[in-house]
Homo-oligomer: A and B are copies of this chain.
Amino acid sequence: MAVRRDLRESFERRRQRPLVHEVRDELERMILAGEAPAGARLNEHSLAAQMGVSRAPVREAARSLEREGLVRTVTNQGVFVRELSLDDALELYELRALIAGHLCARVAETATAETKSELRAFVARMQDAADANDGDTYFAENIAFHDRIAEAAGPGRARTLYVALGKEVRLMRLRVLSGKASLAPSNREHTEIVAAIARGDADAARRAGADHHLNGKKRLLETL
């Protein structure tokens, strides 16, 4: 005899979801969405009150985000949303390029046919967005595309690292991709990545993945 599935899941979710995690996710969302702008101080008391919890979970969540590089804490002064210098951002682009190459190479070696067609669908959607000059859609699909590649590389440190560095980059809240002029070249690089993955060429995939991010760095420099 089995209990109702949805009931079981509801129990599981309730049990395994400490407040710290909820708070952490919410803080991360606020930061990445720009609701808490770079340099802003995160007031423990007011945040705790807003979320209806005590300060302890908020503090723990902050420690978590600190190690991830999204906030910095100053003793007796509080935690602040991290401000990213240009040099910081450029370095993040280089590191992401290295790890993205690693991920792409692995995906090229292990991707199933289904994964490949999924990635092609992403590129097609981005092409539509680029043609329509729809920067918002392209932006969102772009993030989802790269997350999908990271996911396809399987679990492991490389994936978590790539995702974490991606969040750090977004701290700058600079929309590098804007206008058809930069959307089209960006998606051409996506096409190359997917092509290399599709034909199982790990080395080419590594180069294409890394180059794409290094070109992103160039595009960033050009927009300044």
Contact = CB atoms under 8 A, between A and B. Distances in A.
Interface of A: 15-18, 20, 56, 59-61, 63-64, 66-69, 75-76, 87-88, 91-92, 94-95, 98-99, 101-102, 156-158, 161, 165, 168
A115 B91 CA distance: 22
A139 to B, nearest CB: 23
Does more than half of chain A's interface fall in helix, strand or loop, or is it mixed? Answer: helix
A95 B161 contact: yes
Contacts of A64: 63-64, 66-67
B156 A91 contact: yes
A75 B158 contact: no
A164 to B, nearest CB: 9
Contacts of A76: 15
Given A15-B75, A67-B67, A157 B91 contact: yes
10 contacts: A17-B75, A18-B75, A56-B59, A64-B67, A91-B156, A95-B157, A98-B98, A98-B102, A157-B165, A157-B168
